[in-house]
Amino acid sequence: MVEKLTTINAARIRGDFPILRRQVNDKPLVYFDNAATSQKPNSVIDAIDQYYRNYNANIHRGIHKLAEQATLAHEEAREKVAKFINTKRTSEIVFTRNATESLNLVAYSWGRVNVGKGDKIVLTIMEHHSNIVPWQLLAQEKGAKVEFIKIDENGELREDEVHELIDDSTKIVCVAHASNVLGTINPVKDIARLAHRYGALFLVDAAQSVPHMPVDVQDIDCDFAAFSGHKMLGPMGIGVLYGKAERLEGMPPFLVGGEMIREVHTTGATWKDLPYKFEAGTPNVSGAIGLGAAVDYLQNIGMRNVHDHEKEIGGYALARMKEVEGLEIYGPMNVDHRVGVISFNLGDIHAHDLASILDEDGIAIRSGHQCAQPLMEFLQVPATSRASFYIYNTKAEVDVFIEALEKARKIFAR
Amino acid sequence: MSSDIYKDIILDYYRNPRNFGDLPDADVRVKDSNPLCGDVIEMQLKIGDGKISDIRFKGKGCAISQASASMLSELVKGKTLEEVKALGKADVLHLLGIDPGPTRIKCALLGLKVVKLAVYAHLGQTVTEEVKQLV
pLDDT digits (tens, 9 = 90+) for B58-93: 999 999 999 999 999 999 999 999 999 999 999 999
Chain A CA closest to residue B37: A368
Separation in Å, CA of B60 to nearest CA in chain A: 9
pLDDT tier at B3, thresholds 50, 70, 90: low
| DSSP H or E stretch at residue A294 | helix A285-301
Q: Which of A105, A371, A379, A383 is catalytic?
A: A371
Exposed, middle or buried by CB within 10 Å (0-12, 13-18, 19+), for A111?
A: buried
pLDDT tier at A266, thresholds 50, 70, 90: very high
- Average pLDDT for chain A: 95
What pLDDT, on the 0 to 100 scale, is given for residue A61?
79
Q: Using a CB-CB distance cutoff of 8 angstroms, which residues of chain A are in contact with residue B37? A: 352, 367-368, 383
Rounded distance, CA A62 to CA A70, Å?
10
Separation in Å, CA of A362 to nearest CA in chain B: 13
Query: How many alpha carbons lie under 13 Å from residue B108 in its C-beta half-sphere?
Result: 21
Strand partners, A172: A121, A201
pLDDT tier at A4, thresholds 50, 70, 90: very low
How many residues are present in chain B? 135
Rounded distance, CA A205 to CA A174, Å?
7
ipTM of the complex: 0.86
The CA-atom distances, in angstroms, between A357 and each of A397, B2, B4, B61 are 16, 10, 9, 16
pLDDT tens per residue across span A144-193: 999 999 999 999 999 999 999 999 999 999 999 999 999 999 999 999 99
Rounded distance, CA A252 to CA A255, Å?
10
A352·B37 Cβ contact <8 A: yes
B62·A410 Cβ contact <8 A: no
Q: What is the mean pLDDT of residues A207-218?
A: 98
Domains of chain B in sequence order: 8-132 (3.90.1010.10)
Rounded distance, CA A261 to CA A278, Å?
10
Rounded distance, CA A338 to CA A177, Å?
10
Q: What is the mean pLDDT of residues A352-379?
A: 94
Closest alpha carbon to A180 in A227, A236, A239, A122:
A227
Residue A14 φ/ψ region, left for φ over 0, alpha for ψ in the -120 to 50 degree band, beta for the rest: alpha
State yes or no: is A371 an active-site residue: yes
Domains of chain A in sequence order: 10-31+302-413 (3.90.1150.10), 46-299 (3.40.640.10)
The CA-atom distances, in angstroms, between A166 and each of A142, A158, A196 are 19, 12, 10
Rounded distance, CA A7 to CA B16, Å?
49
Q: Using a CB-CB distance cutoff of 8 angstroms, which residues of chain A are in contact with residue B16? A: none
Give the 3-state secondary structure of residue B51.
strand
What pLDDT, on the 0 to 100 scale, is given for residue A414?
73
A352·B4 Cβ contact <8 A: no
What pTM value is reported for the model? 0.93
Query: With a CB-CB cutoff of 8 Å, which residues 49-108 of chain B face chain A?
Result: 60-64, 100, 104, 107
Closest alpha carbon to A172 in A206, A142, A147:
A147
B1·A407 Cβ contact <8 A: yes
Q: What is the mean pLDDT of residues A107-120?
A: 98
What pLDDT, on the 0 to 100 scale, is given for residue A251?
97
Separation in Å, CA of A409 to nearest CA in chain B: 10
Q: Could you give the angle at which helices A395-413 and A351-360 cross, rounded to 10 degrees? A: 120
B6 touches chain A (CB under 8 A): yes
**SS in 3 state form for A300-330?**
HHCHHHHHHHHHHHHHHHHHHHHCCCCEEEE
Q: Using a CB-CB distance cutoff of 8 angstroms, which residues of chain B are in contact with residue A412? A: 6, 11, 63
- β-pairing verdict for B51-60 and B40-48: antiparallel
Closest alpha carbon to A284 in A52, A10, A100, A30:
A52
- Higher-confidence residue of A369 and B76: namely B76
A226 touches chain B (CB under 8 A): no
pLDDT tier at B1, thresholds 50, 70, 90: very low
Q: Taking chain B, what is the end-to-end CA distance rounded to the nearest angstrom?
A: 31
B11 touches chain A (CB under 8 A): yes
Residue B2 has pLDDT above 70, yes or no: no
Residue A41 has pLDDT above 90, yes or no: yes
pLDDT tier at A6, thresholds 50, 70, 90: low
Taking one residue from A and the other from B, the number of pairs with CB-CB distance under 8 angstroms is 49
What pLDDT, on the 0 to 100 scale, is given for residue A9?
87
